[in-house]
Structure 1
Amino acid sequence: MKILNKIAVLSLALVLGLTIHANAQKTYDRSGIQLSVGPQASLPLGDFKDAYDWSIGGSVQADFPVLKNDLYVVVNAGYNNFFAKEGVGTGKDLGLIPVSAGLKYYFPSTNLYVQGTAGVSFLTSKDDVAADKSAAFVYSPQVGYLINLGGRNALDVAVKFEGDSKIYDAGKSNNFLGLRVAYNFGL
């Protein structure tokens, strides 16, 4: 399994590297409202990784321009399923539906951006994981890059940190590091 993971990561890096190099001179046309949809894979951090191995999910995001197509207000909703480790805790997967809003800033004349959002994450499996709360505060800073696919289409590749507040009264926050690869298109 470790060899397969390494091959997948190296293949993705090679494809992204070639695509970024081929489109390095083309700045994506970000005018108007942008929509993106795509999968996300995450790795739990800290104490959260003691009970869960990894997660897979997806999200939909809308970007609304505020200032010169460099600053956007973003609205994001998605789903994350964290796979439980065998023999730890309840042994049940944790499902989260994060809904958040925030700001995205593109560095001048580039497709590189930073984004920060905050909102609420709803638990879909509260009873399965014996959680005390059904919702938690969520915040997520991320760094990303748009790879121009031509026209008003792009591939949005982002690395993000996401933190959820406690879902157990005596617990700790649930943090994870994620990779989002989304298809981005303008309206």
Structure 2
Amino acid sequence: MKFTRKIKAATAAIMALFFVASLQAQSTSEIRNYDQGFRLGVGLNGGIPTNSKYDWALGGDVRLQYDLSKKTSLTLTTGFTNLFNYSEVKDNMEEVKDLGFIPAKAGFKAFIWEDRFYLLGEVGAAFAVTNGYNDTSFLWAPGIGYATKFIDVSVRYEDVPNFDTNQVALRLAYGFKL
């Protein structure tokens, strides 16, 4: 039931992004050709889990972006994230090991203000790869960010329900046109 609510919330967020992007696209009276193309970004992520199971997170990612228009893009993101636990045993005497996973996400990015500030919604899967974990989980991650020609700074909430964790993460990235 909790998982179903999260899927509904993720779907509503993505639909809102499409709605915002279409409103923005309809407000321009001048039609210009836009050179559609690919961009590649390499990022470093640091996060704070919002539950008590883990203490902090660190990771890196690679994001391929296809610009549909000047204001909208499709994204594919993968990388590696590790959730760290300083104390191996928590209050309830349950052993909690560090968790490393590989995310595979598809998303939609909509620039909403001055072609610099954007909203991003991503959904996908997280594949656990460390410390005996061999599970896969649904993953969803809404975020906001600021991008220039080469620099991308964003904040996102990332939820991985099967691993019973979520985080608020900061991403600093360098991007370029392919």
- TM-score, normalization: structure 1? 0.69
Q: 2:172 aligns with which of 162, 177, 181?
A: 181
Work out the CA distance in 2 between the residues paired with 1:30 and 1:58.
29
Unaligned 5+ residue runs, structure 2?
A: 1-33
Q: Deviations over 1:137-185 (max 9, x none)?
A: 00000100013xxxxx411000000001223xxxxx3111000000011
Quote the residue 2:126 is aligned against. 121
Work out the CA distance in 2 between the residues paired with 1:177 and 1:54.
10
Q: 2:153 aligns with which of 154, 157, 166?
A: 157
- TM-score, normalization: structure 2? 0.73
Alignment of 1:95-174 (within 5 A): 95-107=100-112, 109-125=114-130, 127=132, 134-147=135-148, 153-167=149-163, 173-174=164-165
Identity %: 30
Quote the residue 1:75 is aligned against. 76
SS for the counterpart of 1:69 is coil
Quote the residue 1:65 is aligned against. 67
Q: In the comparison of the two structures, how many residue pairs are matched?
A: 141
Against the structure 1 CA distance between its residues 90 and 155, is the aligned structure 2 distance closer, same or farther, given a 3 Å change threshold?
same
8 Å Cα contact 2:45/2:172 also seen in 1: yes
Shift of 1:85: 2.8
SS for the counterpart of 1:125 is coil
Q: CA RMSD in A?
A: 2.0
Q: Deviations over 1:106-138 (max 9, x none)?
A: 1253211110010000001262xxx5x610000
Structure 1 runs (4+) greater than 6 angstroms displaced: none
Shift of 1:30: 8.5
